[in-house]
């Protein structure tokens, strides 16, 4: 629906109303809303129309099927008494049971193409269809008008539709992403005001600031590293990995985790300050996740311009990331927009940690979405003190700016939160409460960004806490899999069970002091949720106590070797649960011409082995992933080493024997000159010499080494009859195919 506010357009309004009624009867609007209230109530003044020929990119989102069955499955997947407990679906299984049908998906494709839109992307779960088209085509296809409006609270304009879309399509859509830019996603990171006080007194970074590794020491302190786990980050801009490298260099640390920058919709994965792009959020997300889980198998940064594209890319990745993190908040036209992706995460065993915001207590209109969604783990903020630099947890209070409260988007309270809410005086008994957990967010971190250096104790925010929790989740899943279980998936139901149980005090640091507008209390509260993780206690409660086992890691994880050469990486075994068995090492994935060996060939308990990669001169240049497998009985663990084989420059070497000779006046001595070609060198090598003195006679037989350049020549030197009695250094020069090499011999002239 829409409003016409000028009486001179009453006739036109009546006509549009009739057309709208007909369209509604023939083609229902999508299942979620698109029109912003401010465009209807006059708070956002109309400025003009979006130019008809301007191009736009949209995502047409189809609805899931069998919603009742999906709801039932999700309950069983997270019910410990169910035979389906944690039996998660693959993307293919989820699509077959709950995704749109292929016929419906094809119908939407035909609709788009028949209305002048170009299909530029499809998805394997059949939820998203990416299209581009002119504004005129979009207005015609969806029976709406795209207007430009003055933003009521920000000094900018925005574009938005004037009514709900009504496509002439038999398949009812779920949502159309990209029809407005009223709410621009913002990172939940804050730069400290000069008057604000930093709590950095015990960090191991510059200026006593906290590093990501300090969070690991404070909240965990064990041997798990996240081995075998991959972690995904949601980002609306790319990054410059040079900033990440600077961080690790200045911290005196090394990052061994492969990082993938993945554009979900052709959004650039680079972000340079010179181009006006700020990568502070993106870089700190990586440092926090990697600091907590330094042994991840991979970290993937999903970069995109819309939540629909990024979340669906996360839901359809191969392999899936079991732990996800988002440090951005925004306000959608309909809070249910992303529900489908979140439910797919839960069904597939993925957990999204979402920053709860940095404006304190949630209120009406707080832009904290999706942190109040039912299917995310909402992460609030604390002030942390450790016992020493890089040391264990000492104390913690609520961070005054940490987000928390009652769902501004009015999400219904989930079943797993009702018992907790009944004992929480400030909690809603009707709507979702947040946060669920928390971690350090004070202005106490070391940050490198924007290719302009690093800062200490200037940035804070729940942006730091969410990726830290995602890293901690990788440790949990590592232990769960080592124990023979699956990954845990969505952990909120388990967290609330633990919070009400007898192990709460050993699993969480209960934050009982401080306020974000809500005062912290014993147990769950709207300032810090259940609190921060307490070492291995929470891991053991969620994943089960660690049994005897081990993990493997490689350092370095990337090795570059030229053809005909070799390189090494150190393989380290880290043990848990008193493991002391023998680990046999093997390698797979190496290309033809590469030989991999280990010294020693096995490791007993905790230890190291040197991995030697010998590359033949015939091995094709390229980058290869070599999997190192450690086997001890029924326990099998892996790590990967990236081997880059580089081509060699065609060249040759030259040498002479013997190195020194004496020659009498009138006598002759001989030297053997040897050349050896390598790297594909194929040319004759011309020989010459200098430095023998004016009285000596010097010849080469042959005068050149024939192609391909490997061979010998005899160099004869005859002492002059009147030569001075002295020592000469003779330089032998070989030239061929633009390559020049030299060697020297010594000639002593005697009587």
Q: Tens of pLDDT along 678-729?
A: 877 899 999 999 999 999 999 999 999 999 999 999 999 999 999 999 999 9
Query: Per DSSP, what are the bridge partners of residue 674?
Result: 655, 712
The CATH number of the domain where 277 resides is what?
Answer: 3.40.50.200
Do residues 620 and 678 share a domain?
no
DSSP state of 680: T
Two tokens, residue 176: 């159309």
For residues 122 and 51, state if they share a domain: yes
Instruction: Confirm if 544 and 584 have CB atoms less than 8 A apart.
Output: no
- Helices (H) and strands (E) counted in the chain, each on its own, are 16, 43
In a domain, 406, yes or no: yes
Phi, psi of 270 (to 5 degrees): -95, 155
pLDDT for position 14: 36
What is the Cα–Cα distance from 21 to 35, expressed in whole angstroms?
17
- Range 580-605 average pLDDT: 95
Residues 225 and 347 in one domain: yes
The per-residue pLDDT for range 272-300, each reduced to its tens digit, is: 999 999 999 999 999 999 999 999 999 99
pLDDT value of residue 173: 97
Residue with tokens 């190291």: 608
Taking alpha carbons only, the member of 344, 176, 213, 346 closest to residue 291 is 213
Alpha-carbon Rg for the chain, nearest whole angstrom, is 34
C-alpha pair distances (Å), 515 with each of 108, 415, 721:
50, 27, 103
Residue with the larger pLDDT of the pair 505 and 751 = 505
- Coil, strand or helix: which one is 322? coil
Higher pLDDT, 21 or 500: 500
| Of residues 560 and 1, more confidently modeled | 560
* Same domain, residue pair 492 and 557: no
Number of neighbours of residue 422 by Cβ within 10 angstroms: 9
| Token digits of residue 665 | 């006046």
> What pLDDT shows up at residue 29?
85
pLDDT tens digits for range 68-126: 999 999 999 999 999 999 999 999 999 999 999 999 999 999 999 999 999 999 999 99
Which among 535, 458, 457 is positioned nearest to 210, based on CA atoms?
Answer: 457
Asked if residue 390 lies in contact with residue 204, where contact means CB atoms within 8 angstroms, the answer is yes
Kindly state the average pLDDT of the residues 666-680. 92
Per the structure, the complete domain to which residue 458 belongs is given by 186-543
110 shares a domain with 206? no
* 311-344 burial code (b ≥16 CB/10 A, e <16): bbbbbbbeebbbbbbbbbbebbbbbbbbbbbbbb
> In this structure, is residue 470 part of a structural domain?
yes
CB neighbour list of residue 751: distance below 8 Å, 6 or more residues apart: 664, 665, 725
CATH of the domain at 687: 2.60.40.10
Q: Which of 543, 559, 581 is the last residue of a domain?
A: 543
Q: What is the pLDDT of residue 27?
A: 64
> Please, which pLDDT band fits residue 574 given cuts at 50, 70 and 90?
confident
Same domain for 35 and 164 = yes
The residue among 513, 543, 573 that closes a domain is 543
Residue 295 lies in a domain: yes
DSSP 2-55: -----GGGHHHHHHHHHHHHHHHHHSPPPSS----HHHHSSSS-EEEEPPTT-E
The domain tally of the chain equals 4
Backbone angles phi, psi at 531, to 5 degrees: 110, -160
Sign of CA dihedral 503, 507, 513, 515: negative
Residue 13 predicted with pLDDT over 50: no
Surface-to-core class of residue 450, CB atoms within 10 Å of its CB (0-12 exposed, 13-18 middle, 19+ buried): middle
Q: Answer yes or no: are the C-beta atoms of 374 and 388 closer than 8 Å.
A: no
The candidate with the shortest Cα–Cα distance to 363, out of 407, 330, 311, is 407
Q: What percent of the chain has pLDDT over 90?
A: 85
Q: Do 692 and 742 share a structural domain?
A: yes
Which range among 363-377, 408-422, 543-557 shows the weakest confidence by mean pLDDT? 543-557
Give the DSSP per-residue string, 211-260: PHHHHHHHHT-SS---TT-EEEEEESS-B-HHHHHHHHHHHT----S-EE
The Cα 730–Cα 674 span in angstroms is: 15
Residue 575 has pLDDT above 60, yes or no: yes
Q: Are 388 and 202 in contact (CB under 8 A)?
A: yes
83 occurs within a structural domain: no
In a domain, 436, yes or no: yes
Residues ≥6 apart with Cβ < 8 Å to 467: 233, 284, 285, 286, 288, 289, 325, 327, 353
Residue 201 confidence (pLDDT): 61
**pLDDT tens-place string over residues 433-464:** 999 999 999 999 999 999 888 999 999 999 99
Q: Do 641 and 670 sit in the same domain of this protein? A: no
Determine the pLDDT at residue 193.
Answer: 62
Domain contains 69: no
Query: Average pLDDT in the 13-24 region?
Result: 38
| Residues 398 and 425 placed together within one structural domain of the fold | yes
d(CA 287, CA 283): 6
Residues 328, 287: contact at Cβ < 8 Å?
no
| Whole-number pLDDT of residue 689 | 96
Query: Which pLDDT score is estimated for 188?
Result: 86
- The answer, yes or no, to whether the previous bond of 319 is cis (omega within 30 of 0) is yes
Higher pLDDT, 364 or 518: 518
Of 146, 177, 208, the residue that ends a domain is: 177
Q: What is the pLDDT of residues 162-219, one digit of tens each?
A: 999 999 999 999 999 999 999 999 998 888 765 445 555 688 999 899 999 999 999 9
**In this structure, are 493 and 563 located in the same domain?**
no
Domain contains 350: yes
Are 596 and 730 within one domain?
no
Mean pLDDT of the chain: 92
Would you state the torsion angle of the CA atoms of residues 657, 659, 665, 666, taken in this order, to the nearest 10 degrees? 10
Same domain, 575 and 536: no
The percent helix, strand, coil of the chain (3-state, each to 5) is 25, 35, 45
The answer as to whether 87 is a domain residue is no
- pLDDT tier at 142, thresholds 50, 70, 90: very high
Per-residue pLDDT for 401 more than 80?
A: yes
């Amino acid at each position: 629906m829409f409003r016409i506010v000028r009486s001179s357009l009453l006739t036109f309004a009546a006509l549009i109303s009739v057309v709208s009624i007909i369209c509604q009867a023939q083609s229902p609007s999508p299942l979620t809303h698109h029109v912003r209230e401010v465009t209807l109530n006059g708070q956002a003044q109309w400025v003009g129309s979006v130019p008809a020929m301007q191009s736009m990119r949209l995502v047409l989102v189809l609805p899931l099927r069998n919603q009742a069955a999906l709801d039932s499955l999700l309950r069983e997947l997270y019910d410990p008494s169910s035979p389906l407990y944690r039996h998660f679906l693959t993307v293919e299984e989820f699509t077959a049971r709950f995704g749109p049908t292929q016929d419906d998906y094809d119908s939407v494709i035909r609709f788009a193409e028949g209305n002048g839109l170009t299909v530029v992307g499809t998805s394997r779960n059949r939820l998203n269809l990416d299209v581009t088209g002119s504004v005129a085509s979009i207005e015609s296809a969806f029976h709406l008008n795209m207007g430009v409006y003055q933003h009521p609270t920000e000094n900018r304009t925005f574009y938005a539709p004037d009514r709900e879309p009504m496509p002439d399509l038999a398949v009812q859509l779920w949502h159309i992403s990209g029809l407005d830019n009223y709410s621009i996603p913002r990172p939940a990171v804050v730069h400290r005001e000069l008057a604000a006080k930093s709590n950095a007194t015990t960090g191991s970074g510059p200026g006593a600031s906290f590093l990501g590794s300090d969070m690991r020491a404070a909240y965990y302190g064990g041997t798990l590293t996240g081995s075998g786990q991959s972690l995904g980050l949601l980002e609306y801009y790319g990054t410059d990995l040079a900033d990440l490298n600077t961080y690790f260099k200045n911290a005196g640390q090394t990052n061994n985790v492969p990082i993938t920058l993945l554009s979900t919709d052709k959004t650039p994965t680079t972000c340079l300050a010179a181009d006006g792009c700020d990568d502070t959020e993106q870089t700190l997300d990586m440092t926090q996740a990697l600091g907590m889980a330094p042994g991840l198998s991979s970290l993937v940064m999903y970069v995109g311009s819309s939540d629909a594209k990024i979340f669906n890319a996360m839901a359809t990745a191969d392999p899936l990331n079991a732990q996800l993190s988002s440090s951005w908040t925004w306000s959608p036209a309909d809070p249910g927009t992303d529900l489908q992706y979140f439910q797919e995460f839960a069904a597939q065993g993925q957990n999204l940690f979402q920053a709860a915001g940095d404006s304190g207590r949630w209120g009406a209109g707080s832009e904290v979405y999706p942190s109040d969604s039912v299917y995310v783990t909402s992460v609030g903020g604390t002030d942390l003190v450790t016992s020493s630099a890089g040391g264990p947890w000492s104390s913690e209070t609520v961070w005054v700016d940490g987000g928390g409260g009652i769902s501004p988007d009015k999400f219904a309270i989930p079943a797993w939160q009702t018992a907790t809410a009944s004992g929480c005086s400030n909690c809603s008994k009707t709507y979702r409460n947040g946060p669920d957990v928390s971690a350090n967010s004070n202005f106490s971190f070391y940050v490198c960004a924007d290719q302009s250096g690093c800062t200490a104790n200037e940035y804070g925010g729940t942006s730091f806490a969410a990726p830290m929790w995602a890293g901690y989740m990788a440790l949990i899943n590592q232990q769960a899999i080592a124990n023979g279980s699956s990954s845990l998936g969505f952990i909120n139901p388990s967290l609330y069970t633990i919070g009400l149980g007898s192990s709460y005090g050993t699993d969480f640091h209960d934050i009982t002091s401080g306020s974000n507008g809500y005062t912290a209390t014993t147990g769950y509260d709207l300032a810090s949720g259940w609190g921060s993780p307490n070492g291995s206690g929470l891991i053991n409660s969620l994943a089960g106590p660690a049994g005897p086992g081990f993990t493997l890691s490689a350092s370095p994880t990337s090795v570059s070797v030229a053809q005909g050469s070799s390189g090494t990486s150190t393989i380290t075994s880290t043990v848990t649960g008193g493991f002391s068995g023998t680990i046999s090492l093997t390698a797979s994935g190496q290309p033809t011409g590469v030989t991999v060996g280990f010294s020693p060939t096995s490791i007993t308990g905790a230890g190291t082995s040197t991995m030697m990669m010998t590359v033949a001169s015939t091995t094709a240049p390229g980058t290869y992933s070599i999997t190192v497998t450690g086997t001890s009985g029924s326990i099998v663990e892996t790590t990967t080493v990236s081997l880059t084989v580089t081509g060699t420059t065609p060249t040759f070497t030259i040498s002479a024997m013997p190195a020194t000779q004496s020659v009498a006046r009138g006598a002759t001595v001989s030297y053997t000159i040897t050349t050896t070609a390598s790297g594909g060198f194929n040319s004759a090598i011309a020989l010459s010499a200098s430095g023998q003195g004016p009285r000596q006679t010097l010849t080469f037989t042959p005068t050149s080494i024939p192609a391909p350049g490997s061979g010998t020549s005899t160099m004869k030197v005859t002492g002059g009859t009147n030569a001075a009695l002295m020592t000469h250094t003779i330089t032998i020069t070989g030239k061929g195919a633009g390559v020049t090499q030299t060697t020297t011999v010594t000639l002593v002239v005697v009587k």
